[in-house]
Amino acid sequence: PAGMALSVLLILLLSVLYEAVKMGKAVLLRRALQALPRSLSQEELVEPEEGDTDPGQGRWFQYHVCQTLFHVVQVVLGYMVMLAVMSYNAWIFLGAILGSTLGYFV
């Protein structure tokens, strides 16, 4: 019983973390879009102008890299939760559902 309770708690926490990563990815997308330069010419993307006062303009690539890492973490967590649910254990399934609900609510 203790092992099952620990397993359900772990799946619950993984589901909450999955939802948190999903939200973090959305926040990074918004920041990346704000940091995107107004001009999409190759010169603007590679080297911002020296007189440019917008510090976020050159950061769009860093935001994109962070989004990529968040995506990889989200996919790995999603597959881990899916594999746990595919054990066809009702308690594990309920832990995943409850964790996803709590993660979305928070």
Structure tokens at 44: 């603007």
* CA dist., res. 70 & res. 84, Å (int): 21
Most confidently modeled range among 54-63, 64-73, 92-101? 92-101
Q: What is the pLDDT of residues 19-49, one digit of tens each?
A: 999 999 999 888 888 877 666 655 555 555 5
- 77 CB-near residues (< 8 Å, 6+ apart): 14, 17, 18, 21
- For residue 41, what pLDDT is reported? 59
> pLDDT band for position 5 (50/70/90)?
very high
DSSP track, 1-57? -HHHHHHHHHHHHHHHHHHHHHHHHHHHHHHHHHHS-S---HHHHHS--TT---TTG
- For the chain, the farthest-separated pair of C-alpha atoms sits apart, in whole angstroms, at 65
